[in-house]
Amino acid sequence: MTPGGTSLHHQTEDLPPLVSRAVELAQRLSFDFSCRPEQGRLLQLLAGGRPGGVIGETGAGCGVGLAWMLSGAAPGSQLYSVECDRDRAAAVQELFADQPSLTVIHDDWTALLAYGPFDLLVLDGGGSGKGSVGTAVEPTLALKPFGALVIDDFTPLTTWPPAHDGEVDLARLHWLMHPDLLATEVVLCPGMSTIVAVRRG
């Protein structure tokens, strides 16, 4: 989760129109946990690299990350996002009612898996194993071969094994060392990194 992610978009110029629309919704609902613009641009780029792809996201929030992906997705792509908060899910459904390539589901994150396997899967509200590794998505079930996985909101790696609050960071270790994935950490701005992984064929 990124406190300030919505607000940071106000300092960013040339936002895609769909992103501005979602930021306005987030502001209206006082939801400041949208992805940061740097993460949005990464999602836009990755979505654009999957023509005709099936793209999934856990945790729609107010649709800011989704808007970045919609802005980059090639024609023929299908996007699915799941959000457990009833009001936010309804608001994003209404906001993007004119986007036929997008389906927003009101449910727990596990419901998203029925729409996979995915060419690109963004874990931003369940499935990342951050609370407990047992709650992590299984890449060979959720991703197509060579499908990509994105998990944000890490602090850049400074030690090995990675640590968080003085403990070994088991969630990060899980993804970086996963036998079915090629994974790396991308530093997007000072103090924030994202794990990007690809399922081995």
Ligand X SMILES: C[S@@+](CC[C@H](N)C(=O)[O-])C[C@H]1O[C@@H](n2cnc3c(N)ncnc32)[C@H](O)[C@@H]1O
- 61: contact with ligand X by CB under 6 A: yes
Residues 86 to 105 in contact with ligand X, rule: CB under 6 A: 88
Whether the link from the prior residue into 117 is cis, omega within 30° of 0, is yes
- 38: contact with ligand X by CB under 6 A: no
Residue type, 87: D
Of the candidates 19, 42, 83, 144, which one interacts with ligand X according to CB under 6 A?
83
Give dist(CA 16, CA 115) in Å, integer.
Answer: 27
- 128: contact with ligand X by CB under 6 A: no
- 56: contact with ligand X by CB under 6 A: no
Nearest residue (CB) to ligand X, 80 versus 109: 109
Give dist(CA 54, CA 70) in Å, integer.
Answer: 12
Of the candidates 53, 56, 59, 162, which one interacts with ligand X according to CB under 6 A?
59
Q: By rule CB under 6 A, what count of residues binds ligand X?
A: 21
Residue type, 166: G
Q: CA nearest 14: which of 40, 43, 51, 46?
A: 40
SS3 113: helix
User: Interface residues with ligand X (CB under 6 A)?
Assistant: 1, 33-35, 57-61, 64-65, 82-85, 88, 108-109, 124-126
